[in-house]
Amino acid sequence: MISKITKIKSKKNRTKIVCLTAYSKNIAQSIDKHTDIILVGDSLGSTLYNFKSTRSVTLEMMIKHSKSVRQGVSNSLMVVDMPYNTYNKPSQALKNCKKVMKITKCDAVKIEGGLKIIKIIKCLIKNNIPVMGHLGILPQTTKGKFKSKGKSTKERNEIIKDCKLLEEAGVFSIVLECVERKLANKISNLIKIPTIGIGSSNNCDGQILVIDDVLGLTDSKMKFVKKFVDVKKLITEGAKKFEKEVKSNKFPSRKYSY
């Protein structure tokens, strides 16, 4: 039987890879038929908990949401973000990733960084834990305003070097966040594993967005965010109709009563 990770890798240069985040069973179930990868992202920190950064997200939060998401995933590859300060050294990373894999039954984990964490990535892969890489903007460690990556020669060379290191270490794909489009194209042609872009142009092998942004549930001003449907408006309409029927004593009618 071909593994889900092998299927993802085989899509490179053949068909675009579709990725979305999910934080609950209901959302995961709704998008599963239309995605190749579902990421339980630490973006839930800002999206659900109104944290100022992903640094406040805990391992327990990720595990709880991932257990819920797992119940709604049958088709897609399920990846879980390892939160800030949970993979500072190989032994800690291995312990926490094993815990996440065992409890959530996810297919892989995602961690941010290149050269600085290469020993950690090698340790995880050596112990049969599939890893998705993440380069470009690194939300867990970036301080101040987010700025696109790859504009200077130094930055471009560092990102290219990190991509090669991650591929050699054995990651099955790399998320490129807000990487300049020409650099994203160069990297996608340079490495043999898929690149998943977010704000990094359609030169990547696939794309990922936060589901709440896609559904119009957030007011994100990030350049790469596109609202594909206005669910917030539908929720408001539903609440308004409910309010009207309750106040007019129309709901619940006999049909909705025991």
Active site residues: 177
Token duo for residue 187: 């990297």
**DSSP string covering 113-138:** -SGGGHHHHHHHHHTT--EEEEEES-
In whole angstroms, how far apart are CA 3 and each of 7, 10, 50, 63? 6, 11, 36, 23
Q: Which residues make beta-bridge pairs with 101?
A: none
Taking a C-beta distance cutoff of 8 angstroms, is the pair 178, 168 a contact? no
Query: Omega before 252 cis (within 30°)?
Result: yes
Quote the CA–CA distance of 140 and 57 in Å, as a whole number.
10
Alpha-helical runs (H) found in the chain = 4-10, 25-31, 44-47, 59-70, 90-104, 118-126, 153-169, 181-190, 211-214, 231-247
